[in-house]
Amino acid sequence: MDDPKAQVAKAKEEALSALASANTVEELTAWKNTYLAKKSPLSQLMGLMRQIPAEEKAAFGKTVNDARQEVETAFEAKKEQADKAALEAKLKAESIDLTLPGRHYDVGKTNPYWLVVDEMSAIFASMGFSIVEGRDVETDHYNFELLNVPKDHPARDMQDTFYLGDQLLLRTQTSAAQAHTMLDSKDKAPIKMICPGKCYRRDDDDATHSHQFGQIEGLVVDKGISMADLKGTLERFVHQLFGEKRQIRLRSSYFPFTEPSVEVDVSCAKCGGKGCNICKGTGWIEILGAGEVHPNVLRMCGYDPEVYSGFAFGVGIERIAMLRYGIDDIRRIYTNDVRFLKDFQEK
């Protein structure tokens, strides 16, 4: 057996020469588990102390510590290098090319139909109207009979629709919601509601007509409601929607469920009333039908016409969207062409 000092030198040389060929993080870990482990020759050197004479013990201890220190320092240096190299390799492998184009997501836009529904609803809500949801499928009773349009009434000719059965049909007008609201709220006037929704009619589709379209119904029932209330409400509505400069005009008209009945025009925004291609030379554009609720309707829907009165109106939603945004063909509203939809910005 070599003498203790030679054993120290040997253990050190063996550890260092093995370290020389360990380069990767894994190799260095394996090396450490062998050469710096508790049972490794290098770690056991202090055990040789027994063989050392007392006066040399201190010097021998230092030799062992220095040897161990030298090996550990050499290992730390290599480990640091290996860790750095491993990190660099990882960063390189995982690098992202920032010059690549990003993924493109199409974000939806609100259809102008809904933009004006929201806008009109907000205007009426600000005047204290509640918003009622009607139903697309109605009975003949609600869509016609309760609105003073009996079976043989000629007004039915203009409102032919899609029948789902003998008495079931797709509603031709949101006015059906008037009857529901009055019957549901019997004797709980005042009623002040709007009802936006889809309507259906047998119509030939063209630039201004569609077999499916939207209306916003309005209904107010209380004691002492007059045409002046109707006019004031609609004037405020038009001013909020189109601006303070616009005027309204009431023309006498006919609807079976209102008496008197009117059609309401708004002064043309383009020519200010002088006459142009938009208003077809008249200076006015028709926007809705309205009137005082007919006594027969009030009676059928549970309100005594001697006590209560009311007004109602029906606005075409697409009509308003077309005027509001200068849309030339109603069909654009339904075809969902993103190039068209992108032109509209929410307020």
CA distance 273 to 267: 6
Number of residues interacting with ligand PHE: please give it, by CB under 6 A: 10
79-88 exposure pattern, b = at least 16 Cβ within 10 A, e = fewer: beebeeeeee
Q: 61 with 69: CB under 8 angstroms?
A: no
Tokens standing for residue 158: 């203009």
Cβ distance to ligand PHE smaller for residue 78 or 171: 171
Candidate ranges 7-15, 106-114, 115-123, 289-297; the one touching ligand PHE (CB under 6 A): 289-297
The contact mask relative to ligand PHE for 155-184 (x = CB under 6 A, - = no) is: ------------------x-x---------
Residue in 170, 179, 290, 322 binding ligand PHE, rule: CB under 6 A? 290
> Does 255 participate in binding ligand PHE (rule CB under 6 A)?
yes
Q: How far is the CB of 105 from ligand PHE (least distance, A)?
A: 40
Q: Return the biggest CA–CA distance within the chain.
A: 133
Residue in 19, 312, 317, 333 binding ligand PHE, rule: CB under 6 A? 312
Q: What are phi and psi of 294, to 5 degrees?
A: -60, 140
Radius of gyration for the alpha carbons in the chain, expressed in angstroms and rounded: 44
Tokens standing for residue 165: 């059965």
Cβ distance to ligand PHE smaller for residue 143 or 267: 143
Tokens standing for residue 150: 């009996």
> Does 314 participate in binding ligand PHE (rule CB under 6 A)?
yes
Inter-axis angle of helices 25-35 and 57-93, nearest 10: 160
> Does 63 participate in binding ligand PHE (rule CB under 6 A)?
no
Q: How far is the CB of 104 from ligand PHE (least distance, A)?
A: 43
Contact residues: ligand PHE, CB under 6 A: 173, 175, 255, 258, 289-291, 312-314
